[in-house]
């Protein structure tokens, strides 16, 4: 335990027991869900000495008012050197630890790397359903009182009571009431009578009320691997057998069979009696992935945000008891309490959803890397378009590249045609589907094929604009233009969910010249239904897929051929395998390209490459049409040529020239508050203190840019300023940040957030 960060809380009037406690008494090291890095010492009363363990939640007095607050016990240590008495733990909440020693170590690493408190991390990684014990109830079980079974023949008991005693003595383990009544062939009265006589005693415990009712999936045999897949599996299996940690980057073009590599590597893990974690980026991918894994393995659990609290708690318990072979889930599944972890897989590792955008702002890929290192197991990162960070580690010799350069069955990648829509007559009239795309859709549907249309803007019209004064109609709480949602007859802010009736006059100049510009998925759906009235159309975005299980239902209807045209946002852009899709249309390839983001080109390339991979997966073949107003952009051209290595090498040169990630770490410091002038002063103070500390410790590799208004300068009523810090090693920044103590000097009402290895630059 790092004693330099520990602080002692004091009581004005200690108890006599506390004053008499010797130095051999262990104290509990406790952290709280507060932005405080301190680990606090508390005394353990006699009643809790044999109960308290690291990994449990406790209640302890905290702060000046000694209010009881829930904290996390992270260790037991001898009392620190102090002349004043320590406060005492009030109670222990959990019968068994929620986290083992390895997970405590991992969460501490997260707190240090991502510059937040240990308590904030612990509170984040344990699901709410687990903390509430959702899906359970307290029940009584009964066992004989001490020494009673040996004297059973001497007891004068009625026949029913005697039957109960004989049943309990034979069982030798506590029995629940219903089970005991059934075996002893009696009601509850004999049990109550024996309890009153002191011959049996009750033990209260929690029993699960939730039962998994998952329908079994028919078992399927493993598929035959091609040469490239076999090489990849053999490398991973060799690492498993050597019980070493290595990180493998599995780069495979879309449709190359990466999932089959995962499955057969996991087959080896399961044969050792161990468990595997598989992370997927989108909830829409989870049902399809789970179905595939359940057809191969006996026990598969799922962890994602759409689970109810009882479901999540039940899965957590099953995993912690070692009953689950494969855990599939989104970002937070990396914290699954596996006692026998053997392999971690991250599918579509390039996805930004693996980065958490609230405290703790961890990246699941980096957490997985550290957990795999601690457990000495392999980590497999899979993608058709790996991030520059992952490619850079290959270039530096830190990770191992495994390649799947060909599609399964030697099928070719689909041809991609980039269509310049700047002079398209359909687009000029306000249509979202240009002339070339319309003709291609018509031919594909006539030929019995299915069509996927991708547009990464939801709503009906993404911009509400005044023709008279030229101002965009913005959310009153955010510096964001409102989006028209025609089906709900509202304008909506996609950041804070503010909604209002569509304006008829400009709020700035009161002119009636309001215009709704741009095309979102709702407007695209309306256009598709109008221009292709005989085709069944389905929209998939976060507005239409709100109900539990809606993703699975929608994708299954498309798989069965009940839907001809599937359109949506990035949730349909990756991981889906539909052999009858013969055309993919990208309605607007430029939506992300011109964002104020250093990763704009990388994200554009990744999205286009992933969308293009949704077609050409059967003998029918397929093609891709990409509509763009910037067809000459390198990211679009490289995606059209399916040239990942060409794009990544060019982009890496640019990043090296600008000292941007992955060459250096990027840390974003965001300050927010209600009063802009006060916030600006605090931001300047923060920049000055960081610069001073960097000079004092001679951290010449640390560079500080800003402060400046954030790209989204106002969000949910708060003004926002940010600084950007780049450094070669994160330890340099952490030392400067801790010594600068910026949070302690901020004005009241100003909050400060630190985003290490920032991805979201808004």
The CATH number of the domain holding residue 82 is 3.40.1440.60
Q: Please, what's the largest Cα pairwise distance for the chain?
A: 102
Structure confidence at residue 698 (pLDDT): 65
How crowded is the C-beta side of 186, counted as CA atoms within 13 Å? 20
Q: How far apart are CA 126 and CA 134, in angstroms?
A: 13
Please tell me the least confidently modeled range out of 87-96, 569-578, 642-651, 724-733.
569-578
Cβ–Cβ under 8 Å, residues 72 and 30: yes
pLDDT of 16 strictly over 80: no
Q: What is the mean pLDDT of residues 61-71?
A: 89
pLDDT of 222 strictly over 50: yes
Structure confidence at residue 746 (pLDDT): 84
Q: What is the pTM of this model?
A: 0.86
Residue 221 lies in a domain: no
Domain co-membership, 261 together with 351: yes
Domain co-membership, 110 together with 157: no
In degrees and rounded to multiples of 5, residue 739 shows phi and psi of -75, -25
> How many other CB atoms are there within 10 angstroms of residue 235's CB atom?
19
Structure confidence at residue 618 (pLDDT): 67
Q: Of 94, 128, 162, which residue is a domain's last? A: 128
Per-residue burial over 516-550, b if 16 or more Cβ lie within 10 Å, else e, is: bebbbbbbbbbbbeeebeebebbbbbebbbeeeee
Q: What is the mean pLDDT of residues 560-565?
A: 90
pLDDT of 110 strictly over 60: yes
Structure confidence at residue 227 (pLDDT): 93
Domain co-membership, 198 together with 299: no
Residue 215 lies in a domain: no
Q: What is the mean pLDDT of residues 260-280?
A: 95
Strands 400-404 and 326-329, bridge-based pairing: unpaired
Structure confidence at residue 8 (pLDDT): 37
Structure confidence at residue 177 (pLDDT): 86
* pLDDT bucket at 30, cuts 50 / 70 / 90: very high
Domain co-membership, 394 together with 260: yes
Q: What is the mean pLDDT of residues 23-36?
A: 83
Domain co-membership, 554 together with 638: yes
Structure confidence at residue 552 (pLDDT): 77
Please spell the DSSP secondary structure of 233-265, one letter per residue: HHHHHHHHHHT---EEEEEE-TTS-HHHHHHHH
Q: How far apart are CA 704 and CA 659, in angstroms?
A: 13
Give the bridge partners for 72, in sequence order. Answer: 31, 57
Please tell me the least confidently modeled range out of 150-154, 241-245, 397-401, 403-407.
150-154
Cα dihedral: 353, 354, 357, 362 (round 10):
180
Structure-token match 């903390």, residue found: 131
Domain co-membership, 114 together with 83: yes
Structure confidence at residue 69 (pLDDT): 94
* pLDDT bucket at 124, cuts 50 / 70 / 90: very high
Residue 231 lies in a domain: yes
Name the residue with higher pLDDT: 628 or 132: 628
Residue 157 lies in a domain: yes
Q: How far apart are CA 461 and CA 521, in angstroms?
A: 9
Structure-token match 């763009």, residue found: 628
Structure confidence at residue 356 (pLDDT): 93
Cβ–Cβ under 8 Å, residues 670 and 742: no
Structure confidence at residue 284 (pLDDT): 57
Structure confidence at residue 682 (pLDDT): 92
Domain co-membership, 39 together with 15: yes
Average pLDDT over the chain, rounded to an integer: 87
Cβ–Cβ under 8 Å, residues 757 and 356: no
Q: Of 128, 151, 170, which residue is a domain's last? A: 128
Please tell me the least confidently modeled range out of 55-59, 103-107, 607-611, 646-650.
607-611
Nearest residue to 635 via CA among 675, 671, 679, 586: 586
Nearest residue to 59 via CA among 83, 36, 38, 87: 87
pLDDT of 379 strictly over 60: yes
Domain co-membership, 449 together with 356: no
Q: For 613-643, where are the alpha helices, taking DSSP H only? A: 634-640
Residue numbers of the domain that contains 349? 227-409
* Token pair in block for residue 622: 């397929």
Residue 500 lies in a domain: no
In degrees and rounded to multiples of 5, residue 219 shows phi and psi of -75, 145
> How many other CB atoms are there within 10 angstroms of residue 189's CB atom?
11
CATH of the domain at 189: 1.10.10
Q: What is the mean pLDDT of residues 126-146?
A: 83
Structure confidence at residue 210 (pLDDT): 66
Q: How far apart are CA 720 and CA 715, in angstroms?
A: 7
Domain co-membership, 419 together with 384: no
Q: What is the mean pLDDT of residues 299-323?
A: 86
Domain co-membership, 243 together with 334: yes
Structure confidence at residue 397 (pLDDT): 94
Structure confidence at residue 291 (pLDDT): 81
Q: What domain count does the chain have?
A: 5
Residue 704 lies in a domain: yes
Q: How far apart are CA 470 and CA 629, in angstroms?
A: 22
Structure confidence at residue 10 (pLDDT): 34
Residue 642 lies in a domain: yes
Provide the percentage of residues in the chain whose pLDDT is more than 90.
45
pLDDT digit string (tens) for 675-694? Answer: 999 999 999 999 999 988 88
pLDDT of 138 strictly over 60: yes
Residue 494 lies in a domain: no
Structure confidence at residue 594 (pLDDT): 79
Q: Of 594, 626, 656, which residue is a domain's last? A: 656
Domain co-membership, 726 together with 708: yes
CATH of the domain at 619: 3.40.50.300
Domain co-membership, 90 together with 145: no
Q: How far apart are CA 551 and CA 284, in angstroms?
A: 5
Provide the percentage of residues in the chain whose pLDDT is more than 70.
93
Q: How far apart are CA 551 and CA 540, in angstroms?
A: 8
Residue 470, burial from CB neighbour count under 10 angstroms (0-12, 13-18, 19+): exposed
CATH of the domain at 690: 3.30.70.600
């Amino acid at each position: 335990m790092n004693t330099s960060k520990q602080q002692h809380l004091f009581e004005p009037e200690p108890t006599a027991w506390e004053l008499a406690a010797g130095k051999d008494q262990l104290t509990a090291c406790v952290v709280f869900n507060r932005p405080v890095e301190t680990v606090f010492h508390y005394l353990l009363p006699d009643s809790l000495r044999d109960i308290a363990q690291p990994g449990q939640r406790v209640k302890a007095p905290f702060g000046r008012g000694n209010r009881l607050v829930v904290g996390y016990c992270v260790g037991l240590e001898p009392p620190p050197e102090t002349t004043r008495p320590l406060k005492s733990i009030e109670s222990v909440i959990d019968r068994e630890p929620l986290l083992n020693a390895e997970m405590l170590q991992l969460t501490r690493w997260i707190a240090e790397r991502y510059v937040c408190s240990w308590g904030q991390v612990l509170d984040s990684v344990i699901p709410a359903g687990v903390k509430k014990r959702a899906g359970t109830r307290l029940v009584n079980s009964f066992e004989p009182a001490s020494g009673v079974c040996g004297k059973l023949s001497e007891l004068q008991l009625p026949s029913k009571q005697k039957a109960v005693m004989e049943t309990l003595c034979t069982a030798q383990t506590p029995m629940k009431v219903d089970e005991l009544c059934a075996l002893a062939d009696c009601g509850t009265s004999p049990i109550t009578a024996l309890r009153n006589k002191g011959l049996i005693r009750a033990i209260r415990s929690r029993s699960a009320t939730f039962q998994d009712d998952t329908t079994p999936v028919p078992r399927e045999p493993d598929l035959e691997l091609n040469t490239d897949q076999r090489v990849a599996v053999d490398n991973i299996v060799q690492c498993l057998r050597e019980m070493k940690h290595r990180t493998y980057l599995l780069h495979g073009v879309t449709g190359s069979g990466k999932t089959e590599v995962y499955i057969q590597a996991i087959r080896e893990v399961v044969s050792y009696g161990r468990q595997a974690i598989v992370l997927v980026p989108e909830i829409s991918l989870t049902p399809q992935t789970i179905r595939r894994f359940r057809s191969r393995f006996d026990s598969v659990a799922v962890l994602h945000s759409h689970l109810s609290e009882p479901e999540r708690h039940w899965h957590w318990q099953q995993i912690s008891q070692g009953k689950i072979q494969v855990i599939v889930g989104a970002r937070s599944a990396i914290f699954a309490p596996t006692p026998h972890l053997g392999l971690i897989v991250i599918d579509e590792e390039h996805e930004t959803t693996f980065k958490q955008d609230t405290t703790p702002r961890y990246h699941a890929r980096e957490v997985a890397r550290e957990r795999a290192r601690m457990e000495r197991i392999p980590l497999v990162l899979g993608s058709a378009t790996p991030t520059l960070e992952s490619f850079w580690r290959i270039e530096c010799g830190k990770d191992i590249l495994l390649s799947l350069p060909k599609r399964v069955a030697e099928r070719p990648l689909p041809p991609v045609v980039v269509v310049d829509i700047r002079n398209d007559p359909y687009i000029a009239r306000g249509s979202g589907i240009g002339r070339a795309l319309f003709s291609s859709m018509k031919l594909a549907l006539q030929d019995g094929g299915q069509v996927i249309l991708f547009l990464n803007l939801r709503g009906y019209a993404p911009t509400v604009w005044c023709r008279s004064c030229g101002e965009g109609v913005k959310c009153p709480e955010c510096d964001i233009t409102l989006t028209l949602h025609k089906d709900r007859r509202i304008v909506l802010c996609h950041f804070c969910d503010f909604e209002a009736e569509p304006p008829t006059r400009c709020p700035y100049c009161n002119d009636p010249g309001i215009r709704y510009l741009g095309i979102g998925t709702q407007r695209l759906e309306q256009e598709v239904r109008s221009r292709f009235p005989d085709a069944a159309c389905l929209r998939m975005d976060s507005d239409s897929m709100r109900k539990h299980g809606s993703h699975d239902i929608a994708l299954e209807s498309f798989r069965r051929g009940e839907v001809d045209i599937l359109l949506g946002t990035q949730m349909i852009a990756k991981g889906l395998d539909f052999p009858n899709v013969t055309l993919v249309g990208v309605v607007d390839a430029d939506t992300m390209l011109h964002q104020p983001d250093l990763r704009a080109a990388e994200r554009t390339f990744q999205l286009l490459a992933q969308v293009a991979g949704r077609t050409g997966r059967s003998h029918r073949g397929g093609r891709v049409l990409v509509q763009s107003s910037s067809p000459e952009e390198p990211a679009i051209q490289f995606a059209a040529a399916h040239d990942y290595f060409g794009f990544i090498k060019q982009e890496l040169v640019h990043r090296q020239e600008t000292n941007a990630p992955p060459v250096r770490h990027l840390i974003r410091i965001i300050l927010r508050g209600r009063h802009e002038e006060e916030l600006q002063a605090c931001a300047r103070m923060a920049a000055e203190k960081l610069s001073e500390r960097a000079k004092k410790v001679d951290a010449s590799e640390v560079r500080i840019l800003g402060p400046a208004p954030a790209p989204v300068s106002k969000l949910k009523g708060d003004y926002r300023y940010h600084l950007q810090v780049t450094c070669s090693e994160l330890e340099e920044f952490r030392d400067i940040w801790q010594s600068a103590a910026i949070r302690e000097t901020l004005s009241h009402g100003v909050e400060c957030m630190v985003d290490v290895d920032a991805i979201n630059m808004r």
